[in-house]
Amino acid sequence: MVRSPKCECAPVSMLNVDNLSVWFGNGRDRVDAVRNASFNVNRGASFGLVGESGSGKSTILRAVMGLTPNWSGAISVDTKPVDKTRQKSFYKVVQMVFQDPYASLHPRHSVDQVLGETLYLHGFRDIDARVVKLLDDVGLGGKFRFRYPHQLSGGQRQRVAIARALAPKPSILLLDEPTSALDVSVQAEILNLLTDLRTEHGLTYIMVSHDLSVVGHMCEQLAVMKDGEIVEIMEVETLRKAQASHPYSQELLAASI
């Protein structure tokens, strides 16, 4: 297990979610996607969210990012509570990588445009040097700079998406099933890249996955979700020993071994 290099000092809360509820629709059509979820992630830690589809794990990430209009509860990033409407400075701290690399990149923007625009919007002016640096960081190198998404493989696209998320130099990366659209061999490459980036940049990860072994590899702590509620928060060690206490987590564990 990779421990964060900054773990020696007292743990500082990087992301704290308290009593978060998210719902869609009104009145009769109201769907409660997340109900009273609370968890805390320390600086430099890696936290997993697992559960079946529709259990609300991605919705939590979207709520943190400010992509869902209706939510209640409290979210604080780096011990500062976030406002209902996110400030630009928020996105310098928190960034997200989406599930499907085929859908998250603009098909008519080259890698250079994708990264350049992100850097420009975040107020950087030495864009040229930074694009080169970002591509190096994610192991792509300069020859990919002027390619379009259709000229890249799935793994390469996901690397571009990670580079885009790293552009504003964030401290927290929200990873929404970053490898579920990829082959196992490519999955290994991307997971290794994420591990390296975490040690290099001291990042905090919140990772959503339906694959318990991926979460077991990447995270130290995980929450199991069912029907919009967190049923159990446990250490990965407990997961490895198959000592989950909630019946649903046991069921999930049995299905993935």
Partner 1 sequence: MTLLDVENLWVKFPSRQGVFDAVRGVSFTLGRERLGIVGESGSGKSMTGRAILRLIRPPGIVTADQISLEGDDLMLKSERQMRDVRGQRISMVMQDPKFSLNPVMTIGQQIIEAYRLHNKARKSEAYAKSLEMLEAVSIRDPERVMRAYPHEMSGGMGQRIMIAMMLIPNPEILIADEPTSALDVSVQRQVLSIIDKLVTDRGMGLIFISHDLNLVADFCDRVLIMYSGRIVEVCDADKLHDAQHPYTRGLLNSLPRLDAPCDKLQVLSRDPAWSEAPSVSARL
Q: Which span (40-48, 80-88, 163-171, 208-216) binds partner 1, by CB under 8 A?
A: 208-216
**List of residues 6+ apart from 99 with CB closer than 8 A:** 58, 176, 177, 178, 180, 181
CB neighbourhood size of 123 (10 A): 9
Min dist. Cβ of residue 110 to partner 1 (A): 22
With tokens 């600086």, the residue in question is: 43
Q: Which two tokens stand for residue 181?
A: 């659209």
- 217 in contact with partner 1 (CB under 8 A): yes
Q: Do the beta carbons of residue 144 and residue 111 sit within 8 Å?
A: yes
Nearer to partner 1, 118 or 249 (CB): 249
Angle, in degrees to the nearest 10, between helices 127-137 and 111-121: 120
Q: Which two tokens stand for residue 68?
A: 């869902």
- 29 in contact with partner 1 (CB under 8 A): no
One character per residue 132-161, x = contact with partner 1 (rule: CB under 8 A): ----------------------x-------
Nearer to partner 1, 73 or 139 (CB): 139
Min dist. Cβ of residue 236 to partner 1 (A): 8
The only residue of 32, 78, 100, 211 in contact with partner 1, by rule CB under 8 A: 211
Nearer to partner 1, 2 or 12 (CB): 2
For strand 80-81 and strand 46-50, is the pairing parallel, antiparallel, or unpaired?
unpaired
Min dist. Cβ of residue 183 to partner 1 (A): 4
- 86 in contact with partner 1 (CB under 8 A): no
DSSP string, 117-128: HHHHHTT-S-HH
The sign one gets for the Cα dihedral 72, 78, 81, 84 is: negative
What does the binding site for partner 1 look like in residue numbers (CB under 8 A)?
1-2, 52-53, 154, 183-189, 191-192, 195, 210-214, 216-218, 239-240, 251-252, 255-257
